[in-house]
Structure 1
Amino acid sequence: MTDPAASADRAALADSPFTRTRLAIAILAVLAMLAIVSAIFFQAPQLVGATKILTDYDAFHVAGRLALEGRADDAYRLESMFAAQEEFTGKRSFMPWTYPPPFTLFVAMLANLPVGVGFLLFTGLTFAFYLHVVHRIAGRFTPGVLMLMLPTLLLLTRTGQNGFLTGGLIGMFLLAFLNRQPGAGLPLGLMVIKPHLAVGITLMTLAERRWQSVMIAALTVITLLLAATAALGPEVWSGFIDGIAESGTYLRDGYYPLFRMTSLYATAHTLGAGPGMAMVIQAAGALSAIAALLWLWRRGTSGNRLAAAICCASLFISPYNYDYDLTILGLAIAFVLPELAERTRPAEQTTLFALTWIATGYGLGVSITMPENSVVRLGDPESGARSLSLMAPMLLLVIALATLALRRAPLGSPAQDDSDAQVQGRMPAA
């Protein structure tokens, strides 16, 4: 006989907001309109009565223009980057360039286009790539992933950062990795554009001894490094090394907008820990994340849950993680959302939804409340609480609550019914 309670739970799941196609269409429509408006702000803000404010994709465009002019190494030194910003845009903003030369070569190809057109092309294609990967993972639960990750999607669509690209590459790796395909090495190698986000997937590749994938990744990295060197000149590497050294100083002194960072380092530093102690806390958190990941792997955790754990661990390894990197969290959600939906009641889903929005949208919310052109620097008394970086603890709370929910049996299953009966049996009679 069919269990009426289980049937009711399956029916409710089928009608879940997480699976409603119209919701996804509405989100995509909003993102498309925002992308068009953002392109105007990049290209000709005067058309909407605004003044030019340098945003993330502007840094891509300026670095690309420098590369086209044979000055790629100047992008890595802040003073020459400031000069180039004023030369190409008439404005300047604190946006140090620390991407490896292969990504500089990539943005050089885009820099041949007007900034607004390049933004639309880059953001549109990388978002389509990310959406394709998410849909392959989440299937009919894709609307739920889009809904939960909306603050991050809005942030990337407005700024033109590369989170869609890196999220798509990591998702492609995980899909191939779970299917034991050597081709996982290709997206792993392409992550040379942002290697600090690839520690988790590299670790799993080595732990599983996927040597074919390792070889493909190594060949991909070598090819990209040689191509960048040939196209940009060997001097680009001295600039890159200088830029990394400068960025370490800026991170230590709090020049970066730490409130938008998702690392334990940023949280500890903004709460009063010195840079040394904050880095110790970051290292402890990174080692804990790696240890937890290896423990889950050794105990034979199911593929989708291990993939979600890889994504979550990747968020806490580097001290230099921003809110636009949270597309990786979206992958984790995509891998486990069907199971979460089966194990949580509407009130719990609402709570997780709200906490996820707060955790992923905190940096965006703080940015919106700040005056235009303002700079938040750690230690500036005028910045006040705006300097606090609270995303790491909020993300940990979301991950902890989701983990607890995943430990349950699905609602309406015999195991869940037995558990509920045991709880009721321990309750005193009214």
Structure 2
Amino acid sequence: MIQPSPPGLATSKPVLIAILAVAAVLALVSAVLFQAPGLLGRDKVLTDFDAFYIAGTMAAHGEANETYQAAEMLAAQQAITNDQLLFPWTYPPPYMLFVAGLAQLPIGLAYMLFVTGSLLFYLAVLRRIAGDHLPGTLIAALPAVLLTVRTGQNGFLTAGLIGAFLLAFPAGRAGAGLPLGLMCIKPHLAAGIALLALIGRRWSAMAAAAGVVIAAGAAATLAFSPGVWGAFLSGVREAGDFLAAGYYQLFRMSSVYACVRSLGAPASLAIVLHGLGALIAIGLFLRLWHGGGEPRVVAAAACAMSLFVSPYNYDYDLTILGLAIAFVLPAVIARARSSELTGLLLLSWFTTGYGFAVASLGESRPGSLQPAEWPSLTAPALVLLVGAAAAILKRPATT
């Protein structure tokens, strides 16, 4: 979708090595900040992986149900730091089973194991999709990649699973159901591939996915007791109330809902407009499919469409955008002018880096606008990016 100037950077191995080196250094520094921030002269500041670790620790100690209660999670987080920012726990029980395993390790080691393993998985999937254009793909999605490394979020894992499904989809094998089923850890991001499996009539893959979901649910039930599902549903409802009240960091969210809500609209209007946007995205995807769209473009559209379905999407979920870029990058390079490629790159950086940049500005500039006062602009930027790339892809190739 996007390639920087000069064109050789899109396939440059030194650029790839440099990006991986930066990610490795950032991961090492982050591991220290998670485990012993005092070694770097810093106070403990809760980040996303801390929430994973806290939930996993509570679950391992027989308090799985309590993780879904905001008051209990806040108390556990404040036992580590006095930060008033709540990280609610709304992941399905199968994912809590996973983080309970990670919590058996010291947090710095657990973070390194998770972020390194999931990043390598993501890179392997991207490499199979992008081929020689992996460096250009990573350049275009660089803010999302570095953000995910720093926070220890699961964006690499979920994007890797989506990409693995899309790689297996054309063959029509039941094995495509494994990554589809594993997306039960974050089902709202699987909308694109689930719809693709349905309209593509991949019944064996869907049956395999259902088996994976049932097995994962059964394992979580055995580990935490059946009551964990009621606690999970209660936590989801409570999180929905928090979202409607504007308690989340809307400026870091990438949904239409977050954009409209951050501009001062009531939650009811924001959800209606978000629903309209989701329907438009789904409709355009179905039109592309039934119109016989080129397979790599259809795969990229499935990734993009998934980012418009749920009102609860964050900037670290934009690693999925990296998949879309990987699928169509060579085709865009063959059709776009140099100035257009530069513009697309800058727009991609804005889309994937806006939330993190705003958070950094609020922390580093006392007296400036605080993050909560900034609008959420990722969704309109994403619409522009996808629309511009789609327009370019309609042109005949020039190279």
Report the TM-score, using the length of structure 2 for normalisation.
0.95
Q: Residue 55 of structure 2 aligns with which residue?
A: 63
CA distance in structure 2 between the aligned counterparts of 1:383 and 1:364, rounded to whole angstroms: 13
SS at match of 1:278: helix
Identity in percent: 51
Q: Residue 230 of structure 1 aligns with which residue?
A: 222
For structure 1, the residue ranges without an aligned partner over 5 or more in a row are 1-12, 375-380, 413-430
Q: Residue 393 of structure 2 aligns with which residue?
A: 406
Per-residue deviation at 1:209? Answer: 1.3
For structure 2, the residue ranges without an aligned partner over 5 or more in a row are none
* Matching of residue 173 in structure 1 with residue 126 in structure 2: no
Instruction: Read off the aligned partner of 2:235 and give its amino acid letter.
Output: G
Q: Residue 137 of structure 2 aligns with which residue?
A: 145
Instruction: Read off the aligned partner of 1:191 and give its amino acid letter.
Output: M
Aligned partner (choices 163, 169, 173) of residue 155 of structure 2: 163
CA distance in structure 2 between the aligned counterparts of 1:120 and 1:405, rounded to whole angstroms: 39
* Matching of residue 27 in structure 1 with residue 14 in structure 2: no
CA distance in structure 2 between the aligned counterparts of 1:306 and 1:122, rounded to whole angstroms: 30
Aligned length: 394
Deviations 1:254-304 (A, max 9, x none): 000000111000011111221001000010011111111111110111110
Distance 1:267 1:356, change over 3 A: same
Contact 2:259/2:379 (<8 A) preserved = yes
Contact 2:358/2:371 (<8 A) preserved = no
Q: Residue 325 of structure 1 aligns with which residue?
A: 317
SS at match of 2:363: coil
CA RMSD of aligned residues (A): 1.9
Deviations 1:66-124 (A, max 9, x none): 01001011111011111222345675531000000000000000000111110011000
Q: Residue 203 of structure 1 aligns with which residue?
A: 195
Q: Residue 6 of structure 1 aligns with which residue?
A: none
* Matching of residue 48 in structure 1 with residue 40 in structure 2: yes
Aligned partner (choices 70, 75, 79) of residue 67 of structure 2: 75
Distance 1:384 1:86, change over 3 A: closer
Q: Residue 280 of structure 2 aligns with which residue?
A: 288
Q: Residue 383 of structure 2 aligns with which residue?
A: 396
CA distance in structure 2 between the aligned counterparts of 1:305 and 1:354, rounded to whole angstroms: 22
Instruction: Read off the aligned partner of 1:395 and give its amino acid letter.
Output: L
Deviations 1:190-213 (A, max 9, x none): 000000001111111111111101
SS at match of 1:143: helix
CA distance in structure 2 between the aligned counterparts of 1:51 and 1:146, rounded to whole angstroms: 31
CA distance in structure 1 between the aligned counterparts of 2:79 and 2:347, rounded to whole angstroms: 43
SS at match of 1:161: coil
Instruction: Read off the aligned partner of 2:49 and give its amino acid letter.
Output: Y
Q: Residue 93 of structure 1 aligns with which residue?
A: 85
Contact 1:266/1:319 (<8 A) preserved = yes
Instruction: Read off the aligned partner of 2:380 and give its amino acid letter.
Output: P
Instruction: Read off the aligned partner of 1:153 and give its amino acid letter.
Output: V
Write the mapping of 1:89-128 to structure 2, written as runs, cut at 5 A. 93-128=85-120
CA distance in structure 1 between the aligned counterparts of 2:85 and 2:392, rounded to whole angstroms: 44
Per-residue deviation at 1:232? Answer: 1.3
Distance 1:82 1:394, change over 3 A: same
Report the TM-score, using the length of structure 1 for normalisation.
0.89
Deviations 1:333-375 (A, max 9, x none): 0000010111112221111111110111000100111127x9x
